[in-house]
Amino acid sequence: MIKISRGLFEFITLLGLTFAPLSYSQNMKPLKIIVPFAVGGASDTYTRLVSQKMSEQSGRTNIVENKTGAGGRIAFDYVAHQPPDGTMIALIDATYAMLPGLFNNLTWDINTDLVPSALITQTPFVILVRSESPYMSLKDLVGAAKSNPNQLNYGSAGVGSTNHIVTERFSASAAIALTHVPFKGMSEANFSLQSGSIDLIVAALPTALSGIQSGKLRPLAVSSAKRSTLLPKVPTAEEQGISNFITSNWFGFAFPKGTPKDQIQLLNDQVNKALADNDVREKLATQGAEIVNLSVEEFAKFVQEDTKRWTEITRSKQIKIN
């Protein structure tokens, strides 16, 4: 049996009291979550739902702050230049992955300065026409577009918007030529579609739901690998012969570069635990959001691959904002 002197024992105990609480207190400091978009949008809604559950389960205070502007670039730049102490994260999404293809001079390195930690959820896009449209299926729409190149027009939330780039990816996958009509937002594009001014839009499922449920819009296809539980009768684009159009609008969290790996892993664990809660799952499901549990490494690879795909589309279609 090894004997430890009283003085050495007291010294070891003091070390434990000194250093153990540091790790604990760091984990329990309030976590500030920076959302790049306005209150009430999908990114804000999903963030607040998951962060509240995380707080309930862990006891840690989570503070959601909306820092809008420049299509998310202000928020991403802000978090990328914060101290890497595990107390601040950014909400990143599909828009984030599209930025390198749209801008030549980002003020942070998208490959290194924000480290993906956890995927919250993803939602498919829906190809929509108005209810009175002659196109009853995706095959009808694609056939008309091939017979009359650039005669069908689609609306988006503006040049370089998510909807613009996603629709260009759809047209490339379907080998058709469409005419782009940019609006100030998807609400304007939606209204123009319903009034017959444009022929189609491609919108994220949460955005499309009200128009579909009211009967004003007809969904022709979803962009996911399998049918949405909210729209079980709507086939996927792939089912209808359009390959290479499996994509989603996704949402997740990222830390500043240099954040300790244990903090990055801890958040991943807490997010996945929150997503396992039945109430959270039900609320996400009502909006057509799908839960996919990814490890830190899997999410980082997902973001990298999505960024590559969107960069290829924006460059091949010569979509630039600056």
> Length of the chain in residues, anyone?
322
Sequence-ordered list of residues with C-beta below 8 angstroms from that of 25, at least 6 positions apart, any chain: none
pLDDT level of residue 124 (50, 70, 90 thresholds): very high
Residue 168 near residue 319, CB atoms below 8 Å: yes
pLDDT tens-digit profile of 65-97? Answer: 999 999 999 999 999 999 999 999 999 999 999
pTM of the shown model? 0.88
* Helix 94-102 and helix 73-80, axial crossing angle in degrees, nearest 10: 90
The alpha carbon dihedral of 305, 306, 307, 312 has a sign of: positive
Q: Residue 11: pLDDT above 50?
A: no
pLDDT bin (cut points 50, 70, 90) of residue 20 is: very low
- Bridge pairing between strands 62-66 and 31-35: parallel
Q: What is the pLDDT of residue 321?
A: 85
31-123+248-316 against 124-240: fold identical: yes
Integer Cα distance of 259 and 47 in angstroms: 20
pLDDT of residue 5: 52
Please name the CATH architecture into which domain 124-240 falls.
3-Layer(aba) Sandwich (3.40)
Number of Cβ within 10 Å of residue 314's Cβ equals 23
Query: Residue 128 forms beta bridges with which residues?
Result: 201, 219
31-123+248-316: CATH, from 3.20.20.60, 3.20.20.70, 3.30.70.100, 3.40.190.150: 3.40.190.150
Segments making up each domain of the chain, as ranges:
31-123+248-316, 124-240
- C-beta neighbour count of 133 within 10 angstroms: 17
